[in-house]
Structure 1
Amino acid sequence: MGSLVWLLQWPIRAVVLLIVAWLPLGVEVESFGIALLAAVVIGLLGTLLIWPLKALMALPWAITSLGGIITPVSWLYNWAITVILFGLAAWLIQGFRLKQGLLSAVLGAVVYAVLSAVILRMLGLDVDFTRVSAVMSAVVAA
């Protein structure tokens, strides 16, 4: 079921990325094909890099959030990871640009994440667990 949901999410996330590019946030996407590629790359980067990024940020997170007690600080670290993944995808894909650098990455990533979550939830395609746990459960089941 997880793979089917992901396949259904993929073009929706690409459309969301085109919406983000249409907004005055400094995000540029040349075409729907580039948006499809970017949606895949963002998802793959999230799957591959979420744990290394969390490990890298673990000590500052633990100190600033008092071990997770201060929830808004934890949210900030999750948003920072989202911005890193969004910016990295833009750096890797020709035709997906952030005109104002970090500002475009922050604005674009936040709007992309929020719109994706809202639209996918409205369509009943949201997934309550992380991409990594889906991959891990598929590996364990195999």
Structure 2
Amino acid sequence: MPQLHNIEIRLDDDESWVNWGKLIYKWHTGDEKKPEKLSDLEEQWQRNGIKATFKGKPDREVSVVTYDPNEDPDNRAFIITIPPKYMIDDDQKFLMTKKKYPIPDFYAQIYKDDPAKRVLSQQEMEDIGYARLGEYVINECM
């Protein structure tokens, strides 16, 4: 099966999902410089304990863009990012080969028993927040 996204992290690697979300946050705080090339991103992954793969050559340019949905709504573009048709088709073909929907394992922490009644520790909440940020960036923004 071909790699479906520009970046892929194993679904069962919760630590990489958390660390990926933390790296994205570090780009905002300035603790890590936004990568300019995939090779820069790969170095950041290694430094931050992220096991991931990417599509393309290491010298491929990377552009990190921040979208602020609260920016003057009357004067900014309304951005809808959609994947190309072949990616949707590839995803659908991939899903038809599965018995269970492939989502990262960290969701089990949230949806164990009744999720509305599940009490998480402060550390679990922080980690899941970072993991969700990382997953959102890969699955919704790329």
TM range (shorter): under 0.3
Between structures 1 and 2, the one with greater helix share: 1
TM-score (normalised: structure 1): 0.27
Q: Which has the larger radius of gyration?
A: 2
Scaled by the length of structure 2, the TM-score of the pair is: 0.27
Higher relative contact order (CA 8 A, sep 6+): 2
